[in-house]
Each structure stands twice: as C-alpha cells, then as structure tokens.
Amino acid sequence: MTFTVGCAAVAALDTTIFDENFDPDEIDLNLTDNRDIEGNDAAFFAACAYANGTVWENISGKSDSAKRLEFWSWWLNVAVPNAWEAMEEDEKIDILLSEAS
C-alpha cells in the first residue's frame, strides 16, 4: 500500500506540474489494459492504495474489489462534483471518503 500511496503522490505532483496531456489520436481502442503503469493517474494509484492492491492482484486475493468500487463510487459521486464546484466557486474543499456511501 505504501508504494501505491507514493505513486499517487508522484502522479498528483506530475499533474500539478505538467497537467495531463490528452491526445485522442494516441488512444488504441483495441487495448483492454494499460501497458505502462507509469502512465496511470493519481486516482488510479489512490484506488489501488485504498483497495490494498491493483486490479490484477484481485485474483490472488491481495486486492479488495469492494473497496475499489467504494473508492470509485466516492470519486465519481463526491470528489469530482465537489472539485468541479470548488473550481467554479474558487474555494477550498474538504471531502471525506465516508461521504461516498
């Protein structure tokens, strides 16, 4: 978990410094996964940390898919809308993960 927390921090810092480049021409719609783990964003690593592992570690029992679902539900239903609202209102926000349920 410590590794994924660190990766989330590095990815967040990278986004802060360089923002996220999105080039739709580089999307390979035939891929079913990301081949380069370093290309994942902070949210991916935060979900891994919260779920105690990556998606592919779910088979080995190391990762908790229910926790991952809880994280992404919170991310989409609480964090993103609050971040969007804060950007519109230009204010600081405090979002608790427990608000997801």
Q: What is the pLDDT of residues 59-75, one digit of tens each?
A: 667 889 899 999 999 99
pLDDT at 69: 93
pTM, two decimals, is 0.59
Q: What is the pLDDT of residues 27-60, one digit of tens each?
A: 676 776 656 666 778 888 899 999 998 887 766 6
What's the helix, strand, coil split of the chain in %, to 5?
Answer: 65, 0, 35
Residue 22: burial class (beta carbons within 10 Å; 0-12, 13-18, 19+): exposed
What are the strands, taking DSSP E only, across the chain? Answer: none
What are the domain boundaries of the chain? 2-100
pLDDT at 77: 92
d(C-alpha 59, C-alpha 53), whole Å: 11
Q: What is the pLDDT of residues 71-101, one digit of tens each?
A: 999 999 998 888 888 777 766 666 666 655 5
d(C-alpha 29, C-alpha 15), whole Å: 24
The whole-chain average pLDDT of the chain stands at 77
